[in-house]
Amino acid sequence: MARDLELVTKLEDIRKTKFAKIQVHKIMALSCFILFLISLIIIFSLRIFNLIFLIFGMLFICGVFLALYFGGKKKVSQELKEIFYPLVLQNFFTNVAYISRLGISLQRINALNVIKRPDDFKHEDYIKGEYQGLQFEMSEVEFIEVTTDSEGNTSSSTYFRGRWFIFKINNVFHNTLKVIERGIPSFNDLKEVKSESIDFNKKYRIKTTNTDFAFFILTPKIMQRLLDMDPLKKNKEIYCFSNNEVHIALGDNKDHFEFVVSKPITLESIELLIKELDIIPELIELFSLNSNKFDIDNKYEKYN
């Protein structure tokens, strides 16, 4: 607790210092706007219309200060994220790195053929590290479709937004398994198989190069846990076992690493971030990724 309090105090001091600098622009913008209103009243009261250009000059200056404020707010938010998240992450993971402006590349995702290729793609909040010796990566991603109607009007819509995880195991899968929630646009590149669970088949499509391999991974216990993991059906889920990587995508249309620069950093802020990070060990435990299940001399090899 003492360590957490020390961390919170340190981060809050940094936030206050940086936020105070950009607050000056907000105050200047507000001052200019008040002067604009006062001048406007005076000019129309005294009918001094030849000074009207001064009014618009004040309005322009007000806009400049507002632009500086919002631009500075975004910049400071990025800077604080680069300070805040690594300090918290290093308490839970080893060899950890965080880069706010980067993410898992579209090329790596496209190579899996698990989701339709987007017309536009965004990613941010990249985290790389190790948990109990298992390497992982994650970032927030957004897949966007752009359409143009007959009149040339363009519109865009997001069909997947959430977190994308990659876990690296110590073996190489010689077969591929894809479990994709129905409704997610994907590819028909592998044969589709059915499980013995009617509920699981209703929610997911199972695609694989080897049926035995698929159900070595998807035991009845794991299938039930996947069904129970999202009882309110808020997530869109993708699971892919390929080469030496396990890709897991959870789409819930949330920004899990949003940083509001005007909001004080408290113990609650730390606890909320920790809660978001709990998903990493939960997914590792769910598929026993840090166990000997996938060791090269394991019985799993018979499916390769």
Residue 19 contacts by C-beta under 8 Å, 6 or more apart in sequence? 76, 261, 262
Tell me the pLDDT tens digit for each residue of 222-242.
Answer: 999 999 886 555 679 999 999
Distance between CA atoms of residues 13 and 87, nearest Å: 14
- This prediction has a pTM of 0.79
φ/ψ of residue 110, rounded to 5 = -60, -35
The tokens describing 239, both together, are: 């699971």
Higher pLDDT, 83 or 135: 135
Q: Which residues contact 132 (CB under 8 A, 6 or more apart)?
A: 281, 284, 290
Quick check: 36 pLDDT over 80? Answer: no
Domain ranges for the chain = 2-83, 92-303
pLDDT digits (tens, 9 = 90+) for 90-148: 888 999 999 988 999 999 999 999 999 999 999 999 999 999 989 999 999 999 999 88
Q: Which residues contact 11 (CB under 8 A, 6 or more apart)?
A: 80, 83, 84, 87, 265
The percent of residues in the chain predicted with pLDDT above 90, rounded, is: 42
